[in-house]
Every structure is written in C-alpha cells, then in structure tokens.
A and B are shown apart, each in its own frame.
Chain A
Amino acid sequence: MTRFLIRRIPSVALVLVATSVIAFLLPRLVPGDPAAVVAGPDASAETIAAIRTELGLDRPLISQYFDWIGGLFTGDLGQSLRFNRPVSELIGDRVVSTLELALLAGLFLVVFGIGLGVLAGSARARWARVLVEGTNTGLLAAPPFLVGLLFILLFGVAFRVLPTSGEVSVLEDPSIGIQYLVLPALALALPMSAGVARLVQTRMLAIRQEEFIDLAVSKGVPPRRISLRHVLRNSLGPAVVAIGIRFGDLLAGAVVIEAIFARNGLGQLAVSGAQSADYTVVQVLIVFAVFIAVVGQLLTEVVLAALDPRVRLG
C-alpha cells in the first residue's frame, strides 16, 4: 500500500503546483480592484490609490506570487485584503463549521445512499421496489437548496422542532450543535445519496445475474449471506468512487446550504471573498478545495485497493 501511495506523489504535487498558479491568477484576471471595495462607494481615485499601496497591490504580480508561495511553506497563508486578518485565522474560524456539516452530510450520504441502494437492489416485493425507487427518483429530482427550503418551511415555520437558522459548534455543545446540523446535513446529503443508491442498486441487480451467485444458491448458502457477502461487497466499488467524488460536491454544495441555513462556513467565506475581490482569501480556498478533492480521490483509491487486490497490485 505504501508503494501504491508513493507512486501517486508526483501527480499530486503537479496538480497542486498548477492549482496554485491558476488560483493566484484567476481572481486577478477578473476585472475589478479590491482597494475600491475597501474604499467604499463614494471614494475618490486618490483614496483608492492610497489603499492599493497600503495593501501591497501595486507590487509586481510575480513577487506577490512567490511571497504567497513562500508563506504557504512556512504556514503563513497571507493576509485578507478586506479584513486585514491572517487568512489562516479566517479559515480556522470557519473550517470546523464546514467540516461538521460535510462530515455529518457524508455520513448521511453513505447511510442513505447505500441503504436505499441495498433496499432497491434487494426488495423482492414489487410494491417495496416501487416505493424505494420512487423515493430515489424524487430525491434525484430535488436539488439541495430545494430540500433545504422545504425543511425550513416544514421544521422551522410549520412545526418548530429543529433550528433552521444559525449554528452552534458540536465541539462546544454537542447536544445543541447536532440539532443545528441535522437539517442542513440532510438537505445536503439526501439528493446526493439518490445517485449513490442508484449505482448500488444497478450493480447489485447485475451481480445477481453472475454465475458465482447461482453457484452459491445451488450450494444452499442463505439468501442474506449471499446478499451481504457476495452481492453487496462486489457492488460497492462504483459506490465508493461516487462517494469519493461526491465528497467534493458536499463542500461545493455547502456554499448554498450554508447560505440558506445562515451558517458561516467556508462556503460563505468563499462567496464573500469572490464578491469583494479578496484575492488572498479566494486563492487559498481554491488550493484548499483542490487539496481536499485530491485527498478524497486518494482515499477512494485506497478503499478500492482494499476491496479489490487487483487495483493494489497493478
């Protein structure tokens, strides 16, 4: 496994270097001046020029890039142009919020995705299969923001049983924090879980047609054992890949979900950073997002390798 991981180091490094260049240049290619935002709508050209100098935006791009990259290696992510605070501090204040949301949503994604998939792929009764597939189709058609708004109407206004606005950290107060998380995490995970469920279901139905399943049946292996040990295990590969990819989507989807449930996470930081041309924040968040996606992809490959030795060996 170690050699398997070492082989991936060069490609990971290349992706991260290319990302850093793109993340640095992309926000700066968009027209607009962060100093103009800091200066406010009534500011004169002189005030904006003074602020540009103070923010260091009048220095050559290349020197700004290497200063930033040099800082990354020493743990200095730079200074927010808008808030004049270390970017690491801004991210640190929000990362827990987004991670809590992404982790619980990830858990729901796995549970509902595989659970619904197994139900749909195992149900013998026609009504049960129709019910599960109907649920699945409904979820596939509902984007996270719609599910979120429905939850707010249902649980925040009609039946006030769960909080629909704001957040309390689970680390600070687990019992209250988890309640603030449940609805946003469900809104984020449920629509995505439908896609995973469909993969599991399709694969399970295909595996059931394989000859080794017929052999197991003829040997008298109990149906539950066949489902769990043979069908399910061999059906999980595509689902694991999909979940790995979806983890990146969870972070992206958090932007919308954080907005409608009024959570101040990384998604909101990215949106406000982009709107106010806070380059230093946006560039770090882009690199961070790519890094998370790369790690997610690596973990997917590790799980696949564990499930299937052919991947590991070859």
Chain B
Amino acid sequence: MRKSTGIRRRRAGLAAVALTSLLAAGCSSAVNQADEAAAEGGSGECQQGGTVVAANSSAPEVSRVLAQSATNLMWARAVFEPLINVSTVDLDDPQPALATEWEISDDGLSAVLQLREGVAFHTGRAFTADDVVFTMQQALDPATVSDVKAIVAGWEVEATGEHEVTITSQTPLTDTLASTLALTPIVDSETYAGLADGSQIIGTGPFTVESYSPGADIVLTKNDDYWQDGLPYLDRIESTTIPDSTAQVSSLRSGRAQLSNGLTVQDALSVTEGNPQFELLSTINGTYPIILDAVEDQRVRQAIGHAIDRDRINEQVFGGRGTTDGLYWAAASANYPEDLTGAYEYDPEQARQLIEEAGAAGTEVPITIINLPVIAAEYEIIANNLTEVGLTPTLTALAPPDYQQRLSAGTGGNYLSLRGLNGSPSFLLQTNADLRLEGAHRQFTSPEYTELATAVIGATTAEESAEAVHELTEYMNDQAFLHPLVTVPGTSVQSTDLQDVDVVLGGWVPATTCYVE
C-alpha cells in the first residue's frame, strides 16, 4: 500500500512538473508569437512586410461602407477607395485617389472628373466610369446608409467616357464636391449585393479581405495587384473589436495591438504620456454641441451659452485636446468666420442677468443624452453650470437605439449631440442632422435660418460664400438655438514603430503605413 502510494505521488509530481514545464515553454511562444507578428521598429526607411493589429471599440459593419462610421474607421479605406481623399486636418486640400483630376465649371454647377486607368477591383475586373455611376445610385437608395444622400440627390452623374465622369448639380459643387466624393468610396457593381451580409467585400484598395467575422474582426491581406507600385508596405491588417477601453490599453501594453481606436481620452493619455512606444493619433474631428429645442425664450438660450464652462469640459472630459471657439464650422475649412468665435464666453453673472430678465429663474431644462461615458461626463459639468446660474437641469439618458429614434422623430427636446466636421459650412448645412434644412433632428426653424442657410449652399464664389457664412453665423450666434461646446479630434493611439498612419475622411488609409527599419 505504501509503495503504490509513493509511486502515485511520484507520478503526480512528475505530471505537475511536466505540465508546468509545458506551460512555461509554451507561454513564451504565445507571447513571442504576438511580438513576432509585428515587425521590429526603429527609425529610418519604410520596410516591406509586417502585420498591424488595429483594435477598435466597435465591430466592423460592412453594410455601411458608404457612410463614415467609427465602426469602419480602421479598415474601410484599406479595401474601398474614393475618387478623392480629403485629409481631416486640411479640408481644403483634396488629394487625387481614383480620380486623377477634376474641374468644376465657373458657375459651380458641373464638374468633370478624369478617372485613374489601370485600376482593378479585387476580382480582377477593371474600374471604369460606370462604377462611379453605380456607386452614386446606391448611395441614393432609401435603405442605404450614406452621409451625403441629400447632396447626391441633387446630382446627375453621367459616364462621359470610359474613364471620365460628369456631375451636374442643382446647387454649387465648389464647397461640397470633395467631401461628398471622399465619403462615397467606389463599390463593385458585380458583388455589391454581398456587402449586405459581408459575404463579398470587394473594392479597389491596397488590401483584400481574407476573412470577416461579423461583430468580431476583419482580416486583410496585401493586394499584390494594387495600382500604386511598391504599395502597400504591410502584409496584413487584423482589425479586431475590443469594446472595453481598459482591455484596449492592455492589448497595446501587452504588444498585441499597434493601433487602437475608441478608447477613452484618459486611457489614451495614460498609455502615451511618458511612454516613447506610443503616441496619440488624431482621427475624425467631431463637435459636441447642445441643441436647445425645448427652450423657447431666446434670452434663456443665450444665458445657457454664457453659463456653460467650455474650457472645463475640454480639460476634464477631453484632456485639453479640443478647441472651444463656439462655432459649428471646422477651423480647417475655408470661410471660417474667425471674428465671430467666442460669442459666448463663460460668464455666469451675465447668464444670471439674462435669466432674471426673462423671469426664468428655476426653470427646468430637460436634457436628453446618449448613454456614453464621454457625453455623461459632459452633462455633469453642464448640469453643474446651469444649476449655478439658477436653472434646473434634468437628465434623460438613453441607450443608442432609443436616443437615435427620438432624435430622428424630433422628440429629443434639448439634447447633447456629437457630429463629424467633414467639410465646408455648405457641406454641413446639407448633411448634418443638427443643421440641415430637410430631415433635421433639430426642431428650431425660421424663415431667416432657411434663407441664410440657402444662401450659403447657393454661393458660387469664395467671396459670396464667405459673406453668406458670416451672416448665417451671426444669426446662429444671436438665436443661440445650439451651442457648439467643444471641437475635438477622435482619439486613437498608435505605436511609434509605425510610420505614416494617415487618416482621411472615412478613416485610416493604410497604403503608405509601414514599420520603419
């Protein structure tokens, strides 16, 4: 009995040692495997090869490639290319992509685009002008999600040659053409139906889709037949979904991910500050306004403008990365009315005075928000500010499906919003749900607003446009039906081993991204 027990003990001991050794040996291989997938970094020339793991907080949605979406920010421009690229930091300097050049007529109502020859879809079929016509038709489909539907609805797109397209428009194209085309990447007519469920994801981009797991990840491999010689540098991109911000930090620190999008500003700063391995990457510029649909008295709306401490929101919620100019327009766009910035400086005393004049002390100000940490943090400061000047803020925090339904139905009341700043004032006035004339979520409307906004949209020259934007901005400042609070770029983190991580409207363009030798 004693002998057999001893043997059993020895066997158990040996098994434990073997298991531990196996784990120890294997452990290093699993960790090393993740490290080896990415190429070694350094400084110098771009090197060919390597894998980038790009973590995103929301899952890819392939049916929404004709819209700009945070869900597709880390992969869509790797597969689908637009005619024109527009950098998020320079909206007035569009760059050729699938169109090599374009010319807008003097009246701004038509444009002729020359398309790049020698471009093929991932199926091998050549890209022609018919694909542009097809793509624009799809953007117009009622069930298609597109940011620029309202603009494209006024267009007539015609293939005037195998590699030439002519666009005629009811409103001037001068300030809207580039952003509209940048947000409408070209899709393949033969496989478009497959985008609905992701069974076929075919574009002309530098990467082809190796696999797509709905709700989880999308894996891309280098397109060896890409039209730009020598590009892309990377062999592979794994765009994976990591919803939790802390888990994104962990994926960066553990060496798994080299790019990370959708983590909180605080987490992004915690990874990058004092750490030479990572740096912040700015993505799409967004504005965070409060829309005052349920405050009838103009003086109270103005008082709210003076009551909110924008700089505090910028510092505490966005880590000081934003600007607080109080305008809805992108500072990077032409016709930006610099002299009208800061109309509502933080001035609680003036806010109290306006409220007193309006006899609105103690008035309830219901505010609807989408239940996201950033917006909730923003609300906390606003609520504190409004209470300080004698108003009574109340909160309705909604899940995304409820929030979006209420806003589209016009029942949101006062609400905190988040919108991309993807173009000129004319572009935003036609596409942005807080501003546009048709189908807006904003309920405030007046003949003056319609007239002034229409003048911006209809301006054909730079001078006309500048004047119209100035007049509209003055009116918006005076009416105070919305207050842009902070404008801030989307926050991502990139490994410093990577070079040329360029972001345009639509997302990351990985063709020139590389590891450096």
Interface size class of A (residues with CB under 8 A): 35 or more
B76 interfacial by beta-carbon distance below 8 Å: no
A162 interfacial by beta-carbon distance below 8 Å: yes
A43 interfacial by beta-carbon distance below 8 Å: yes
* Among B30, B216, B405, B433, contact of A180 (Cβ-Cβ < 8 Å): B30
Q: Determine if B61 and A93 form an interchain contact, defined as CB atoms under 8 angstroms apart.
A: no
Q: Determine if B404 and A33 form an interchain contact, defined as CB atoms under 8 angstroms apart.
A: yes
- Which residues 41-55 of B have a CB within 8 angstroms of A? 55
Q: Determine if A152 and B250 form an interchain contact, defined as CB atoms under 8 angstroms apart.
A: yes
A20 interfacial by beta-carbon distance below 8 Å: no
- Kindly list chain A residues whose C-beta atoms are within 8 Å of the C-beta of B22: 175
Q: In the assembled complex, how far is the CB of residue A102 from the closest CB belonging to chain B, in whole angstroms?
A: 18
A234 interfacial by beta-carbon distance below 8 Å: no
Closest B residue to A54 by CB, please name it. Answer: B143
Q: In the assembled complex, how far is the CB of residue B436 from the closest CB belonging to chain A, in whole angstroms?
A: 9
Whole-angstrom distance between the alpha carbons of A84 and B248 in the complex?
27
Q: Determine if A83 and B215 form an interchain contact, defined as CB atoms under 8 angstroms apart.
A: yes
- Kindly list chain B residues whose C-beta atoms are within 8 Å of the C-beta of A161: 24, 27-28, 31
A156 interfacial by beta-carbon distance below 8 Å: yes
- Which residues 7-66 of A have a CB within 8 angstroms of B? 30-34, 36-48, 50-51, 53-54
How would residues 202 to 222 of chain B score, 1 for a CB under 8 Å from any chain A CB and 0 otherwise?
000000000001111100000
* Among A53, A85, A156, A178, contact of B254 (Cβ-Cβ < 8 Å): A156
B243 interfacial by beta-carbon distance below 8 Å: yes
* Subset of 29 A-B contacts with CB under 8 Å: A31-B401, A32-B398, A32-B399, A33-B405, A36-B400, A39-B145, A40-B69, A42-B419, A43-B404, A43-B433, A47-B145, A54-B143, A83-B197, A83-B214, A156-B250, A162-B27, A163-B31, A165-B242, A175-B22, A175-B26, A179-B27, A259-B243, A261-B250, A262-B251, A264-B213, A264-B215, A268-B241, A271-B243, A275-B399
- Kindly list chain B residues whose C-beta atoms are within 8 Å of the C-beta of A259: 243-244, 247
Whole-angstrom distance between the alpha carbons of A259 and B240 in the complex?
13
Residues of chain B at interface, number, CB under 8 A: 64
A277 interfacial by beta-carbon distance below 8 Å: yes
- Kindly list chain B residues whose C-beta atoms are within 8 Å of the C-beta of A41: 404, 418-419, 433
Closest A residue to B244 by CB, please name it. Answer: A259
B18 interfacial by beta-carbon distance below 8 Å: no
A182 interfacial by beta-carbon distance below 8 Å: yes
* Among A40, A46, A157, A176, contact of B26 (Cβ-Cβ < 8 Å): A176
A269 interfacial by beta-carbon distance below 8 Å: yes
Whole-angstrom distance between the alpha carbons of A197 and B147 in the complex?
57
A276 interfacial by beta-carbon distance below 8 Å: yes
Whole-angstrom distance between the alpha carbons of A261 and B55 in the complex?
13
B317 interfacial by beta-carbon distance below 8 Å: no
User: A36-B408, A40-B69, A45-B439 given as contacts; is B399 within 8 A of A260 (CB)?
Assistant: no
Whole-angstrom distance between the alpha carbons of A80 and B23 in the complex?
39
User: A34-B401, A50-B143, A272-B59 given as contacts; is B244 within 8 A of A262 (CB)?
Assistant: yes
A166 interfacial by beta-carbon distance below 8 Å: yes
Q: Determine if A176 and B241 form an interchain contact, defined as CB atoms under 8 angstroms apart.
A: no
- Kindly list chain B residues whose C-beta atoms are within 8 Å of the C-beta of A233: none
Q: How many A-B contacts at CB < 8 Å in the complex?
A: 189
Whole-angstrom distance between the alpha carbons of A271 and B256 in the complex?
23
* Among A31, A50, A275, contact of B142 (Cβ-Cβ < 8 Å): A50
A94 interfacial by beta-carbon distance below 8 Å: yes
B33 interfacial by beta-carbon distance below 8 Å: yes
A289 interfacial by beta-carbon distance below 8 Å: no
Q: Determine if B30 and A163 form an interchain contact, defined as CB atoms under 8 angstroms apart.
A: yes
- Kindly list chain A residues whose C-beta atoms are within 8 Å of the C-beta of B64: 40
Whole-angstrom distance between the alpha carbons of A272 and B64 in the complex?
17
Q: Determine if B405 and A260 form an interchain contact, defined as CB atoms under 8 angstroms apart.
A: no
Q: What's the dominant secondary structure at chain A's contact region?
A: helix
- Kindly list chain A residues whose C-beta atoms are within 8 Å of the C-beta of B431: 42
* Among A84, A260, A275, contact of B400 (Cβ-Cβ < 8 Å): A275
Q: Determine if B254 and A164 form an interchain contact, defined as CB atoms under 8 angstroms apart.
A: yes
Residues of A within 8 A of B (CB): 30-34, 36-48, 50-51, 53-54, 80, 82-85, 89-90, 93-94, 149, 152, 156-157, 160-166, 168, 175-176, 178-180, 182, 259-262, 264, 268-269, 271-272, 275-277
- Which residues 26-40 of B have a CB within 8 angstroms of A? 26-31, 33-34
* Among A43, A90, A277, contact of B401 (Cβ-Cβ < 8 Å): A277
Q: In the assembled complex, how far is the CB of residue A207 from the closest CB belonging to chain B, in whole angstroms?
A: 24
B8 interfacial by beta-carbon distance below 8 Å: no
Whole-angstrom distance between the alpha carbons of A117 and B241 in the complex?
39
- Kindly list chain A residues whose C-beta atoms are within 8 Å of the C-beta of B253: 156-157
Q: Determine if A160 and B216 form an interchain contact, defined as CB atoms under 8 angstroms apart.
A: no
Q: In the assembled complex, how far is the CB of residue B70 from the closest CB belonging to chain A, in whole angstroms?
A: 10
User: A54-B143, A182-B23 given as contacts; is B251 within 8 A of A40 (CB)?
Assistant: no
B257 interfacial by beta-carbon distance below 8 Å: yes
Q: Determine if B433 and A44 form an interchain contact, defined as CB atoms under 8 angstroms apart.
A: yes
Whole-angstrom distance between the alpha carbons of A34 and B402 in the complex?
9
User: A264-B215, A272-B59 given as contacts; is B439 within 8 A of A36 (CB)?
Assistant: no
B149 interfacial by beta-carbon distance below 8 Å: yes
User: A152-B250, A175-B26, A260-B244 given as contacts; is B149 within 8 A of A37 (CB)?
Assistant: no
* Among B30, B214, B217, contact of A162 (Cβ-Cβ < 8 Å): B30
- Kindly list chain B residues whose C-beta atoms are within 8 Å of the C-beta of A42: 147, 419, 431-433
- Kindly list chain B residues whose C-beta atoms are within 8 Å of the C-beta of A163: 30-31, 34, 254, 256
- Kindly list chain B residues whose C-beta atoms are within 8 Å of the C-beta of A260: 244, 246-247, 250
* Among B28, B147, B215, contact of A90 (Cβ-Cβ < 8 Å): B215
- Kindly list chain A residues whose C-beta atoms are within 8 Å of the C-beta of B403: 32
Give 13 new A-B contacts, CB below 8 A, not counting A51-B145, A262-B250. Answer: A36-B405, A38-B145, A40-B67, A43-B404, A45-B439, A47-B142, A83-B197, A85-B197, A156-B250, A156-B253, A166-B34, A264-B241, A272-B215
Closest B residue to A86 by CB, please name it. Answer: B197
